[in-house]
Structure 1
Amino acid sequence: MRHRKYKYFACVSILIYCYYYLGVSDYLYSKSFKDNFDYPLNVDIKPLVADVLSGRTPSVAPINYYPYRFLSNSGKCATLHKIDLFIAVKSAMNHFGHRNAIRRTYAQNKVRGRNVQTLFFLGIDRRGKSDTQRAIEKEMAEFKDIIQMDFHDDYFNNTIKTVMTFRWLYEHCSKADFYLFTDDDMYISVKNLLNYVDELKYSVKDRNDTDFEMTYTDNDVTVATEDSNLIFAGYVFKSAPQRFRSSKWRVSLEEYPWNRWPPYVTAGAYVVSNSAMKTMYVASLFVKHFRFDDIYLGIVAKKVGIKPTHCPMFHFYKKKYSKDAYSDVIASHGYSDHEELITVWNEQNNS
């Protein structure tokens, strides 16, 4: 009898543990994304975005403006008449080797007849004038390709880094046809990316919401923004929130009560068109902060009516290398070995 009681107690304890730590109740009580999704602001933000892009005061005040400053700047865009592609690299402070490997590979701007520019975006640490910060300042003086922002550079601040990067581009470099956002441990083929966006420009008509057309003023010229110009492309996921209490990626019902994420593009690398960059940045002013940057951009895109385009040539994992296997690869994750990145890039681009 006593043995059965112990077994009963053990079973109940295991069930309670599983129910609590596996987040079973969170899964059970999640709201239906299909029927009830309405992330704050709980209004139609499309007219608000159109107002801002047109230079008008929106009827509802923004709710999400990060109070951070740019500690450095760049004049890369100021004197250029046309930029085909701007590459914004999210970089960690101490990734000096990553940045140097990128400068030796896809940041070389060696695409015949196309203007490609690259900048690195990073935050600060809490230690003030550390050895790392002094080394970064020396690096900035030498290469003049780093935009540093005064927020703590941390994994859970990636949304801040992403939106601050969008802000810098919106305010200082709004003329590029396309913008590639990438982590600093990715292999990138600029040639394949340009080929892809050239094809994509002519194949996305009627993909986005047909009721979202805007005009905005850019350097005193009125420009029509058509649905087919709102391109947001990369490796698209359709998945559910992680509710396990022991998980680094746990999301509570209080933080996000719905049972599915909007379709989102994995944050390792993705490309947006000029009008999508402007639209998504302005839309972010009216969309509540969320700590995972790829999910946040998926929410922003959903709120403003942009449908992410899936491109299997963006690899969120490290694709096994061979010369033929990489012939159409745009991005591949996991290149923390700098010499490996340089070797692969040279073989793909110098043959």
Structure 2
Amino acid sequence: MSRRPVARRMYSRFRSAKFIFFMSLCNALVMLMNIVYMYNRGEVIQTKQEIIREVIRTVPCEEDTEKEHKAKVRVKYFGEEKQRHEEEETERELPLCTNKTEQDVECEISFSEFNYPLEINMTKLVSDYKRQGYVNEVIINKYTHIETIVPAKSCMYGDKKESQKNVFMIYLIKSTPTNYARRNAIRKSWADENKFPNIRLVFLMGIPERSALNDMVLAESKEFSDILQLDFIDTYYNLTLKAIGGIRWTAKNCPGAKFAVMGDDDYYVATDFMLSLLEHIHSFQPAGVYMGGLIHSAKPQRDRSAKWYISPADYPFNKYPPVIRGGTLVMSMDFVIDMNIVIPYTKPIRFDDVYFGIVAYKLGIKPMTEDRFAIRKVRYSDDEFRTVLSSHGYKRPFELKHAWRCHEIMQELARENSTKKTCW
């Protein structure tokens, strides 16, 4: 046999191998692109075993002691006057105002002289309003925005009309029109009304700038009946308008609920833990609850280029009142109703969590906090995830679904009294 035919056959096989390798590489790239696309849309579907292997990895599973973790409540109150007015030993961005302040020089007023308008007795205002249906004070914060889409759902649950009960808790989740995948992930995970029939879920949003997107919002509302839309453009600095709209709707339509939890759509919440906590709190303090991740010494940002900048003209004091972070804000329904009465008589501010903190301060409501309200992202692999109530930073719907399924798996193992050290 001559060497030439053998060489040709070898070359032909080499070309075939190259072609097969090239096609395999192309197929792998196409599959990878599809996975990334589905990941970003929150549509990757995996089995329980795959999630355990790929995501949870070395998470310690709940043992018998976890039952104690779930029932244990470490509520803290913040109301000490010395804490409210303690001064931080940091350099101030603006000087304190004095009687001899030069003209055109910006300055701040000490928080000890807090007198945010209207400077009246808000507790008495609420009492008078509830007794006679009106008050003589002048409204300084008139809410003119109308509801363009309302949730077509009842704040009752139960199979038969005569056995229906008021829902225990309502979620008011601030969202933007573009975040459909995130909203859908929430519906199918920690705020699933089929799994938790005594809760209700409502998404708060404004009007998108593109009309075509609003058509999608309308279609979504028809499908899920859980959107409350108000007639202002949906932007970050309209969050206070969005939050006030949610308070107004809830006070009118769900006054029988015990609690309202206002939050953001990039949060993970352990709803079963939240319900256990609130049931416990309701047993000893059914009213005046304003709770979540507490910031008790926040200062206004005076850097004009900062996202959270506020001018001394809009807020002249050198500190904010104690504030519960807006990502997960727990309110008893009496507080929601009282806020709805007081808001028209309280000067608005662009940051919703700060504004609610001001309203609570003027009503004399002491903030409560609990160690399990995480202000950072608690990952599935963190030991803290076993008991966390809420966690920030779940922007990808895929991650949010995984977090909830991980939580369910861990609870299932706990019920089975598993002695495993890991979840896989």
* TMscore range, shorter length: 0.7 to 0.9
Answering whether residue 289 of structure 2 is matched by residue 231 of structure 1, we say yes
Counterpart position of 1:18:
none
Counterpart position of 1:218:
none
Q: 1:45 aligns with which of 122, 125, 133?
A: 122
- Rounded to whole Å, the distance in 2 between the matches of 1:59 and 1:306 is 23
CA gap 1:47/1:134 in 2 versus in 1, 3 angstroms = same
Q: Which string of whole-angstrom CA distances, capped at 9 and with x for unpartnered residues, describes residues 256-279 of structure 1?
A: 111110001000111111111111
Of residues 44-53 and 268-277 in structure 1, the stretch that sits farther from structure 2 once superposed is 44-53
Q: Which string of whole-angstrom CA distances, capped at 9 and with x for unpartnered residues, describes residues 260-300 of structure 1?
A: 10001000111111111111221112100100111000000
Written as runs of structure 1 = structure 2, the 5 A alignment for 1:1-351 is 24-26=93-95, 29-34=107-112, 36-77=113-154, 79-80=156-157, 81-109=165-193, 115-127=198-210, 130-204=211-285, 229-238=287-296, 239-322=298-381, 324-350=383-409, 351=412
Percentage identity across paired residues of the two chains: 32
Instruction: Structure 2 unaligned segments of length 5 or more: list them.
Output: 1-90, 98-106, 158-164, 413-424
Contact kept? 2:155, 2:166, Cα under 8 Å: no
- Rounded to whole Å, the distance in 2 between the matches of 1:48 and 1:258 is 24
Of residues 165-174 and 311-320 in structure 1, the stretch that sits farther from structure 2 once superposed is 311-320
CA gap 1:26/1:92 in 2 versus in 1, 3 angstroms = farther
Contact kept? 2:295, 2:323, Cα under 8 Å: yes
Contact kept? 2:96, 2:110, Cα under 8 Å: no
Contact kept? 2:155, 2:167, Cα under 8 Å: no
Identify the structure with the greater strand proportion.
Answer: 1
CA gap 1:324/1:110 in 2 versus in 1, 3 angstroms = farther
**Bigger radius of gyration, 1 or 2?**
2
CA gap 1:203/1:106 in 2 versus in 1, 3 angstroms = same
SS of residue paired to 1:57: coil
- Rounded to whole Å, the distance in 2 between the matches of 1:53 and 1:266 is 29
Contact kept? 2:343, 2:359, Cα under 8 Å: yes
SS of residue paired to 2:134: coil
Identify the structure with the greater helix proportion.
Answer: 2
Contact kept? 1:121, 1:148, Cα under 8 Å: yes
Contact kept? 1:234, 1:312, Cα under 8 Å: no
Taking structure 1 as the reference length, what is the TM-score of the superposition? 0.81
TM-superposed deviation, 1:141? 1.2
TM-superposed deviation, 1:202? 4.1
Contact kept? 2:206, 2:229, Cα under 8 Å: yes
Q: Which string of whole-angstrom CA distances, capped at 9 and with x for unpartnered residues, describes residues 151-204 of structure 1?
A: 111100100000010001011121111111110111011111111112223455
- Rounded to whole Å, the distance in 2 between the matches of 1:177 and 1:322 is 33
TM-superposed deviation, 1:55? 4.5
SS of residue paired to 1:71: strand
- Rounded to whole Å, the distance in 1 between the matches of 2:116 and 2:240 is 16
CA gap 1:55/1:123 in 2 versus in 1, 3 angstroms = farther
Contact kept? 1:111, 1:191, Cα under 8 Å: no
Name the amino acid aligned to 1:101.
A
Q: Which string of whole-angstrom CA distances, capped at 9 and with x for unpartnered residues, describes residues 48-107 of structure 1?
A: 122223342212132212101111222422554311111111110100111110111012
- Rounded to whole Å, the distance in 1 between the matches of 2:168 and 2:408 is 19
- Rounded to whole Å, the distance in 2 between the matches of 1:193 and 1:79 is 19
CA gap 1:23/1:33 in 2 versus in 1, 3 angstroms = closer
CA gap 1:243/1:49 in 2 versus in 1, 3 angstroms = same
TM-superposed deviation, 1:324? 4.2
SS of residue paired to 2:350: coil
TM-superposed deviation, 1:125? 2.6
SS of residue paired to 2:143: coil
Contact kept? 1:241, 1:260, Cα under 8 Å: yes
CA gap 1:323/1:243 in 2 versus in 1, 3 angstroms = closer
- Rounded to whole Å, the distance in 2 between the matches of 1:144 and 1:75 is 5
Name the amino acid aligned to 1:87.
Y
- Rounded to whole Å, the distance in 2 between the matches of 1:193 and 1:111 is 14
- Rounded to whole Å, the distance in 1 between the matches of 2:252 and 2:95 is 41
- Rounded to whole Å, the distance in 2 between the matches of 1:120 and 1:24 is 38
Name the count of aligned residue pairs.
303
- Rounded to whole Å, the distance in 2 between the matches of 1:49 and 1:250 is 32
Taking structure 2 as the reference length, what is the TM-score of the superposition? 0.68
Counterpart position of 1:11:
none
SS of residue paired to 2:191: helix
TM-superposed deviation, 1:322? 2.7
Name the amino acid aligned to 1:233.
M
SS of residue paired to 2:337: helix
